[in-house]
Every structure is written in C-alpha cells, then in structure tokens.
Amino acid sequence: MNIASFLAQDHTRCDELFVRAEQLAVQGDFAGASAACREFLRGMEHHFAMEEQVLFPAFEQATGSAAGPTAVMRHEHEQMRGLFREMLIAVEARNDEDFLGATETLLILMQQHNAKEEQILYPMTDRMLPVNDVLNQMKDLAA
C-alpha cells in the first residue's frame, strides 16, 4: 500500500459517512442525521489530522517549503470546517434546508479538494517521502 491509496480509501470512507448523514436528513430523521453527521465529522477530523500532523509536515520538510500545495490544502480544510459547523447547527436545529445547503457546498469543495490531493499531492508524496514511515505514523493516529 502507498500513501495515495491509503488516503484515497479514507476519502471513500468519509464520503460514505457524508452520504449517510445527508440521506437521513432528507428522510427527516434528524436524530439519525445528527449522529451520522457527528460520525462523519469525526472521520473528517481524523483524516485532516493524518494530513496536517504527519503528511504535510513531512512533505514540507522534503520540499523545504510550506507555501506550496500543503498551504492550499490547509486553507481548504479550514473552509470545510466552517461548513462542518454550519451542518451541525442546522441538523441540531432540525433545519433541513440549511443542512442541505451546507452539504451541497461541502460536497463541491470536497470533490475538488480530494481530486487535487489524489491526482497531484498524494502521488508526489509517494515519490518523495519514506512511504512506510509516513503510513505507520498516520496509522498510529488512529490508535
């Protein structure tokens, strides 16, 4: 396994959690949507932690720059976190319109973000970094 496949699989896992939360909200099951939303957000924060605490610093050290693609990814993470807050507020208020508005915006942002990571950043990290060391450090965050 390489970094690209490991993190792409985690993108898929998070996407599935996202779809579940959205489906429950559409069905009007706000208790279920709230629980699913929280599970999705935990998954996303774990994914962000693997990148922000392990992958990005290793990439920045290898390239000697924190101003490249990792700066863009961090900025997009913050944009997503803002939408996470909007989702939580909306689902707790049982406001499906606001919830679905936030999820629609988030979906577009996540698709664009994930494509950049999977097509550009992750392949670069697989070429530049000690793959097994990075994978082990990311896996240790789950423990």
The predicted-structure confidence for 111-136, as pLDDT tens digits, reads as follows 999 999 999 999 999 999 999 999 99
Structural domains of the chain, ranges and CATH numbers in brackets: 3-129 (1.20.120)
Helix extents (H) in 50-95: 56-63, 69-92
**Residue 68 in this model has a pLDDT that exceeds 70:** yes
With beta carbons less than 8 A apart as the criterion, state whether 112 and 77 touch: no
In percent, the amount of the chain with pLDDT more than 90 equals 98
Cα(67)–Cα(48) distance, rounded to whole angstroms?
18
pLDDT band at residue 143 using 50, 70 and 90 as cut-offs: low
Q: What is the mean pLDDT of the chain?
A: 96
In single-letter form, the type of residue at position 100 comes to: L
Cα(67)–Cα(39) distance, rounded to whole angstroms?
32
Q: What is the pTM of this model?
A: 0.96
Crossing angle for the helix pair 96-116 and 69-92, to the nearest 10 degrees? 160
